[in-house]
Amino acid sequence: MSQPPEGPDFSIADVAREGLIERPGTEPVPHDGTGRVDLAFTVHSKAEGGADVPPAQRSVRVPPGVTVFDAASWNGIAIDSTCGGHGTCHKCKIQITSDVEVPITRHDARTFTESQLTDGWRLGCLVHATRDLKVEVPPLTTRPKAATVGIGRQVILRPALQKRYVELAEASLADQRTDLVRLTEAIDDLELTADLHVLRRLSTVLRQADFKVTAVIVDEALIDVEPGDTTGSRYAIAFDLGTTTVVGTLLDVGTGTPMAVTSMLNAQQPFGGDVITRISATMMDPDALGRLQDAAGRTLSELTAQVCREAGVDPQHVYEVAVAGNATMTALALGIDPEPLGVAPFVMSAAQPPSVLASDIGLDIHPRARAFFFPALGAYVGGDIVAGMLATGMDRDKRTRLFIDVGTNCEIVLSDGETILSTAAPAGPAFEGGAIRCGMRAADGAIEVIKLDPGAEGDDPAVTLGVIGDVEPKGLCGSGLVDAVAELVKVRLLDSSGRFVPDEDAKEIAPALADRMARIGEERVFILHRPTPDAEPNECVYLSQRDVRELQFAKAAISTGWSLLLEELGLEHRDVQQVLLAGSFGSYLSPASAVRIGLVPQLPVLRIVAAGNVAGEGAKMALLSVRERAGALALLEEVTYVELSDRPDFNDAFVDQLSFTAP
Amino acid sequence: MSQPPEGPDFSIADVAREGLIERPGTEPVPHDGTGRVDLAFTVHSKAEGGADVPPAQRSVRVPPGVTVFDAASWNGIAIDSTCGGHGTCHKCKIQITSDVEVPITRHDARTFTESQLTDGWRLGCLVHATRDLKVEVPPLTTRPKAATVGIGRQVILRPALQKRYVELAEASLADQRTDLVRLTEAIDDLELTADLHVLRRLSTVLRQADFKVTAVIVDEALIDVEPGDTTGSRYAIAFDLGTTTVVGTLLDVGTGTPMAVTSMLNAQQPFGGDVITRISATMMDPDALGRLQDAAGRTLSELTAQVCREAGVDPQHVYEVAVAGNATMTALALGIDPEPLGVAPFVMSAAQPPSVLASDIGLDIHPRARAFFFPALGAYVGGDIVAGMLATGMDRDKRTRLFIDVGTNCEIVLSDGETILSTAAPAGPAFEGGAIRCGMRAADGAIEVIKLDPGAEGDDPAVTLGVIGDVEPKGLCGSGLVDAVAELVKVRLLDSSGRFVPDEDAKEIAPALADRMARIGEERVFILHRPTPDAEPNECVYLSQRDVRELQFAKAAISTGWSLLLEELGLEHRDVQQVLLAGSFGSYLSPASAVRIGLVPQLPVLRIVAAGNVAGEGAKMALLSVRERAGALALLEEVTYVELSDRPDFNDAFVDQLSFTAP
């Protein structure tokens, strides 16, 4: 691959002002329900001094429509950028080497020559990945002042973690300033405080290093003094501490570059799959809180070790972490008794966890590293949602937007550009494959996409399945469940009350599908996949009448939630300009199916977008910018939490929401 | 003993204003050099509910002239008082039961009837102990709003340690405030912060105690939440962390009452007797710092256990400690490398040690108890001196006052009521008995007082000795050394250059003492005590020519210090209105002898007062009043530290000060 072509220099004047710049042109577009796209990145880099280094290969899987730039960023692959995706900085040059046609925008046309365009050069922030692509990423050329994170959010780099290299005058009888004053007067734009642990090292390090040292600062706390100039090594880790999955991203906060990303299952899994079972564990066994805390610490430690190993970073150079988790995960990681979160009236110990040391949560990084935990709006609208609101700019956008994090507990945020409301809806385990007969997690063998053709003839398939890992289907994950019900409603094999139509009607309505209607015992089922042509129904992957009921209750809980929030603000469905589906499940949900079953308001699917792992993105933003972090804390004041279980009209609204909208 | 007589009620209006009230009438008067007085207290008290309790016997030994009230207070014996010793509150009623005449002041006359006065009733703050006394102390009747500490300092009680009992509304779906908000909104006059450890307990304690809890607060940090009402138990410990001796005073900060006082040798002694040898230990052995830190922690822990045991207080109810120590003791207790304190240019890590937990210095009291360390003005004017300045009101008095803490390192503070200067003079170990041939610490057998009568005849003694413990003399402590030299100068057996006069002259000048002049080898000595009539000189307790030289150098270092400070402010000796001799050594020094050898300015001895253990008193003030503590911190800005070793005129001044003033 050639070096990236030279283009006109970009002036960063227009992003130098503080704050955020919306990047509407590159918001993820809704995908069409056909699954995922694979992006094969070849990442080029230079060693210190400019020598070439063998390129690294990285393959990532994302929902269709995500920009190549975001797909790279979310997966820890750094691409030059200073403008935050307006297409103005013309820095995020990439080369598409797949043999596919990629649209040429006016920005591409200004940036590249005709022959470069023919060679596949494009601006990464303007390429929407709608199919599998091979992407060449040139070496980084700039040291950015801003980074793009979240959903098109441009963050001016102002990390809480700073390093300052200073060369101090040595003490003399005429200058007996204390070591601390000597240092802090050299860094006089900050009001530094030093704790005992720094003072224990300070005099020794100063003298061993001939008074040439690097101050390590988090916010205004001097957490260490290192000999010589170590300003090049300043790292932090953003954690998305999910009930099921935990994701860690190692960031170079000096550049905003994600150095490595990895994820693993939360080691608390053996205590139960959801927050309620884990809270129950602490209520039944006095040792369980300590063991859950340990498990959280182990998980975070393991991820820390992995991202540091992958990026070749010494864990002692990681000085801060940010953790976005729901209220229960946050309490358990901190060793705070979660019981009041689990029983009415659902009260937190504190909305804003105190500032703690990373060692308090079991991390073996720099011994005085700090841990920032996102605050929570309520027992069931936690720090993960606050982080997600930060990443999606819920408090900065003038549009009417609905944010839904679909899961066992579903968090809902509605903003009309002025007022922000939030609530939580107990959707139950259906979306995570729980309580569904053939349900499973979104892992290899899970059906995640379903298309039904009721009138298919000849070789045309009546049932088209998208299966994770492209293997023999073994079960049905959340997005597959929603697709299955939505398609069955669409072809009218399910009526609006959620009941399978009689077999006679089925033959008439959907002749190509009628042979899939069966019974297991007394219960009616729809066969999605037969492992062998003569397999018995209970040997197949199927959707049962009871499964449909489970989904109905789950979606009714959610739609009751946002319906009541809309009502609070006096809004109709059509007033919602954007629906953000968040979380690992929400991002993979088919917007069309979500509309079909009424999980989201009745809107054009183009208004419904997958937002990705916004909790993790928010955690990154908090590490890269103290202003963004302050914004997250300000959300506690700005957002009104609405408790649904307290409302007399909840049950009526719930019953209204149970039925499926007629197709 | 009868109950204390009733008198007219005292209005505290005149002490209710914030701040301090001087109590000039009860400042310690100078003693006459005849040693100590013993006060035998019989302390009466009532149990809860009013039942009588057998009285406690306590004997204390103080310099003559101290008031009975102060003598009691410094030794942890509580006497009622609200006015702080103006003689106006008429609460500090005591009964002197010794068969001695005690002057009746006009305040006594107003307070007691004729027959009560005859029975020995007096106001304790007005009785100066000039001889041994038996004192009856009635039960406490008031819960004071102020306490008398330091040198006549009246401190309005406003301790950093507070307890607040609250009964909170239980949470409900309509009131989902977090546990922390629920608590802090009930204590809305403070901006409380809670750390992780409180949050870990908060929800459990609130619910177990039916939301009736006591908040434990230090400054504005919520350090614990205790079930029920525990406001009656709030204790703190004031430590005077001396290089040689460490004193601990357990205080009830709700009343200002000292509950118990005890002292012990600093367990760092095996590393060396003074700060320099201890600093050297850390420079030669990398493990020594840790061991010195442990030794400091052990000493403070031992004192803690003793005072708690003596007062019957659970150490878990001790929530704060204050530590006044010199810069080296402070650094070692905190585990901070003291090396830069010990070598030029004598630099501290930090003037104000950070706020730490008591557990950081090894104390096993409440796990989140705080430890306040006094700040230092310089490497050799440490936190003990700042505490002493607080206790003596050096920054609040308009008089010109000189504060001298005599010891191996001698700290000197001069204030003219506007400007405050401080310095340190390296006096060497003479005052602690070091480098003196028959030198010893002020322990049993040490000669502490000496009177010479050069013309004694018949049975009149030519040499009168005051010996600690009234036992056979074994050696000479610092005050005895000063007395010995002062008396020898006075009787002219030492000339003004500090040389013993020839034997021939001695016979003429002091016939009764001439037989005490002897030689050990080539060195001339003066025999102070012969164990047997025919003992050889080296079997006696004596003062050698070299001892005199040691004292000369020590006193010259000190007088050079205050001379240069006087010069800085353009003052003469006679301008000094008061000299405060501080520290365990200074308090026992004979003012007359100190004047005689030129250790203090040439002033009437009435202007020279023993100030007692002012470091410990300052530590108590810091625990009883946040305003006083702020005052101590403000001294860092208000006091100018003068480095003597940097001055070109130091050597000339030193030589000038070597000679003894002619008698």
**DSSP-assigned beta bridge partners for residue A476:** A439, A447
Superfamily the domain B396-429+551-658 falls into: ATPase, nucleotide binding domain (3.30.420.40)
Residues ≥6 apart with Cβ < 8 Å to B235:
B250, B251, B252, B253, B259, B313, B317, B318, B319
Pair of tokens at residue B363: 């104390």
Q: How far is B408 from chain A (nearest CA, A)?
A: 21
Give phi and psi for B266, each to the nearest 5: -65, 125
Q: Closest-CA residue in chain A for B181?
A: A350
Interface of A with B in 334-363 (CB under 8 A): 334-337, 339-340, 344-351, 353-354, 356, 360
- Taking CB atoms and an 8 Å cutoff, what residues of chain A touch B200? 334-337
**CB nearest B199 (choices: A178, A180, A336):** A336
pLDDT band at B2 (very low <50, low <70, confident <90, very high): very low
Amino acid letter at B20? Answer: L
Per-residue pLDDT reduced to its tens digit, B206-235: 999 999 999 999 999 999 999 999 999 999
Is the ipTM above a cut-off of 0.85?
no
Q: How confident is the model at residue B19 (pLDDT cuts 50, 70, 90)?
A: very low
DSSP B499: P
Chain segment B183-212, per-residue pLDDT in tens: 999 998 889 999 999 999 999 999 999 999
Average pLDDT across chain B, whole number: 87
pLDDT of residue B180: 96
Over range B9-38, report the average pLDDT.
38
Q: Say which CATH topology domain A397-429+551-658 has.
A: Nucleotidyltransferase; domain 5 (3.30.420)
pLDDT digits (tens, 9 = 90+) for A571-614: 999 999 999 998 767 777 888 899 999 999 999 988 998 888 89
Average pLDDT of chain A is: 87
Does any CB of chain A come closer than 8 Å to the CB of residue B202? yes
Mean pLDDT throughout B617-624?
Answer: 95
Per-residue pLDDT tens over the stretch A517-539: 999 999 999 999 999 999 999 99
Considering only CB atoms, A200 lies closest to which of B336, B351, B646, namely B336
Q: Are A319 and A216 in contact (CB under 8 A)?
A: yes
Using a CB-CB cut-off of 8 Å, the residues of chain A touching B362 are none
Q: For residues B413 and B421, is the Cβ–Cβ distance under 8 A?
A: yes
Q: Which fold has domain A12-149?
A: Ubiquitin-like (UB roll) (3.10.20)
pLDDT of residue B547: 93
Phi and psi at B477, nearest 5°, equal -95, 180
pLDDT at A541: 96
Each domain of chain B, given as residue ranges in start order, spans 19-142, 161-227, 235-373, 396-429+551-658, 446-540
Residues of chain A under the 50 pLDDT cut: 2, 6-34, 662-663
Residue B187 confidence (pLDDT): 93
State which H helix or E strand residue A559 sits in. Answer: helix A545-568
Q: What is the pLDDT of residue B129?
A: 86
Contacts of B176 in chain A (CB under 8 A): 345-347, 378-379, 641, 643
Q: What's the pLDDT score for residue A83?
A: 57
> Using the beta-carbon criterion (under 8 Å), do B194 and A351 form an inter-chain contact?
no
Which pLDDT tens digit goes with each residue over B499-525?
999 999 999 999 999 999 999 999 999
**B193 contacts A354? CB cut-off 8 A:** yes
B152-166 pLDDT tens trace: 677 888 899 999 999
Q: Is A621 on the interface with B (CB under 8 A)?
A: no
A162 φ/ψ sector (left φ>0, alpha ψ -120 to 50, else beta): beta
Is A181 in CB contact (< 8 Å) with chain B?
A: yes
Instruction: Note the pLDDT tens digit of each residue in B403-430.
Output: 999 888 899 999 998 899 999 998 888 8
In this complex, the residue of A172, A178, A354 whose CB is nearest that of residue B349 is A178
Looking at CA atoms only, how far is residue A358 from chain B in angstroms? Answer: 12
* pLDDT for position B28: 40
3.40.50.2000, 3.10.20.30, 1.10.3720.10, 3.30.450.40: CATH of B19-142: 3.10.20.30
CB contact (8 A) between residue A345 and residue B176: yes
Pick from B172, B177, B178 the residue to mutate for testing the A interface (most A CBs within 10 Å): B178
Between CA B524 and CA B529 the distance in angstroms is: 15
Residues of chain B above pLDDT 70, percent: 90
- How many contacts, defined by CB atoms under 8 Å, are there between A and B? 134
* Fold match between domain A235-373 and domain A397-429+551-658: yes
Closest CA to A237 of A135, A306, A166: A306
Does the pTM surpass 0.90? The reply is no
Output DSSP code: residue A526: E
B199 interfaces chain A, CB cutoff of 8 Å: yes
Write down the architecture of domain A235-373 according to CATH.
2-Layer Sandwich (3.30)
Paired with B130 in beta bridges are none
pLDDT of A337 reads 94
pLDDT in tens, B299-333: 999 999 999 999 999 999 999 999 999 999 999 99
pLDDT tens digit string along B79-115? 877 655 556 778 889 999 998 888 898 889 889 999 9
Q: Residue B218 has what pLDDT?
A: 96
> Which residues of chain A does B204 touch, with a Cβ-Cβ cutoff of 8 Å?
337, 339
Chain A CB contacts of B378 under 8 Å are 176
Residues 6+ apart with CB under 8 A from A213: A165, A166, A168, A183, A205, A206, A225, A226, A227, A228
Q: Is the CB of A13 inside 8 Å of chain B's CB atoms? A: no
Side-chain half-sphere exposure of A240, counting CA atoms within 13 A: 31
- Which of B199, B222, B637 best probes binding to A when mutated, by most A CB atoms within 10 angstroms? B199
Q: Does the structure show a pLDDT above 50 at B8? A: no
Residue in B178, B204, B346 closest to A350 by CB: B178
Q: Is the pLDDT of residue B663 over 60?
A: no
> In angstroms, rounded to a whole number, what is the distance separating the alpha carbons of residues A100 and A108?
16
Domain A161-227 grouped into CATH 3.40.50.620: no
Alpha helices in A423-544 (DSSP H): 478-490, 503-509
**Helix, strand or coil, per DSSP, at residue A311:** helix
